[in-house]
Amino acid sequence: MTKKKDIPKFIDPKAEVKAKGSNARYKEAVKINLLDQQKKIKVRTANIEDYEQVVGLSKLCFPKMPPWTRGQFKSMIDTFKEGQILIDINGKIVASSSSLILEFDEYNDTHNWREITNRGYITNHNPEGDTLYGIEMMVDPEYRNMKLSRRLYEARKKLVVDQNLKRIAIGGRIPGYAKHAPDITADEYVDKVHERAIFDPVLTAQMANGFVLIRLIPDYLPDDLESGGYATYLEWTNIHYSPKKKKPSYDPYMRVCTVQYQLRQIKHFEDFATNVEYFVDVASDYRSDFVVFPEMFTNQLLSFLPQKGPGTTIRMLSEFTQQYLDLFSGLAVKYNTNIIGGSHIMLEGADLFNISFLFKRDGTVGKQYKIHITPHERKWWGVKPGNKVEVFDTDKGKVAILICYDIEFPELARIARKKGANVIFVPFCTDERRAYLRVKYCSQARCIENQVYVVTSGCVGNLPFVENMDVHYAESAIFTPNDFHFARDGIAAECNANIETMIFQDLDLNNLQKHRESGSVQPWTDRRKDMYTLKYTEDDQEIDI
């Protein structure tokens, strides 16, 4: 007969816990089970490598609507990565949200999705704005019982608090409306959802997350048939917002002055300094925010130097670099104006560069190298090209400088616009009218293509004894885009040909913004980035323009 103690013992873990409390054997079993079951939830910003998964998520959530294109997705990440938020569980993307920052007062109450997102590229993102605008949120249907939308809304709220923004604004869908139309209007449907008489999967969730319903927007997204094209406009207010912490906004008005400078023989540097100060003084009397001088106008200094062949003589200009910098930096501070100091050819090491300096009225200095060198500059002087498009922060907003020949290459202006420039200054030096007209027509084209202002400044007069600086032609001008907000012919002001003079013009950045949002044409936002792209490399990083 088998003894009782020899019968195999089959352990019931639950019974064992009840009988003995916790024991090592059961604790090990529980630990293994938990590791098998746990979900690793990560809230993070999007990368371009996430594109295919995000498209798959979009097709699950919005099967009747087109997903992001790769160009749109990359542009959103490049423009405002912090606003593109994902949730992944064990490496699978199960939720996402997209947003941008806007100066919201610049948009009207009946804005639509296409306008508010610049066709999905969010290139209208404004880091100086006051509102985080949510443009999309998606949650995988299989994971909708996990309150993932709440995590996304909390991430947005944290972003708003961290960046000291006033609010979150949303143009929200009402996908439940299709089941009730046409029995009730969209207004009636929204009222009933607001009263909790009808459940809407989006609007109800948004109100549960602290968003206040403000109004209904018609024709917001025509492709959204479930919502009848409507959107609800909702806001969440940041109670921690402090205007004192906000970055200073730029005055949208700037007065620019361009100098059409006559080259003539002088005897020493002091003559040059006297001429320059005269123009800066007059510009200051007219309260100009920017004064622009021409390209290579410091070559006037060659008129009193011994001529030893063009390649040797031009390098002698570097002897005056420190005097030139001291002069313009001092004038900018003394006369309280920002000065684009034309351009100056100078040595850096053994290499010769054509450089335009921006002398700010706060005493700081920036510089832009000429990027495209003309055949004559190479042939006569051996000038080397620069490799970077600079955009400068000033007390009147962001500006760029493209030197003469550079304005004839549309890619550079695209890069400047992408980096936030509203005004492009073009110091130029052309010998005869056809050469000047190349600068003029290309400047006007860059205004239209990029929806920016362009200000040109050229030399007139002659330097008979300086090789490659014999004769000059200019009609310096201030150009605008061609639309109702601006001068009829796109020319705000223009100098008479071949005389020494200066012109002034007030530029309104508000008009520029209106033109970008609702212009007759919008070349910047209507580019076919699904068909072609421009790639620019800066500091070893590739940027999609």
Q: Which residues are catalytic?
A: 295, 370, 404
Rounded CA-CA distance 293/332 in Å is 13
CA torsion sign, 281 to 286 to 290 to 292? Answer: negative
Rounded CA-CA distance 409/427 in Å is 15
Is the distance from CB of 258 to CB of 439 less than 8 angstroms? no
The token pair at 146 is: 């996990």
CA torsion sign, 266 to 280 to 477 to 501? Answer: negative
155 closest CA partner among 46, 79, 43, 40: 43
Number of alpha carbons in the 13 Å side-chain half-sphere of residue 137: 24
119 closest CA partner among 73, 57, 77: 73
Phi, psi of 56 (to 5 degrees): -60, -40
Is the distance from CB of 58 to CB of 97 less than 8 angstroms? no
Return the CA Rg of the chain.
31
517 closest CA partner among 71, 173, 126, 67: 126
Please count the other Cβ atoms lying within 10 Å of the Cβ belonging to residue 469.
24
Is the distance from CB of 510 to CB of 485 less than 8 angstroms? no
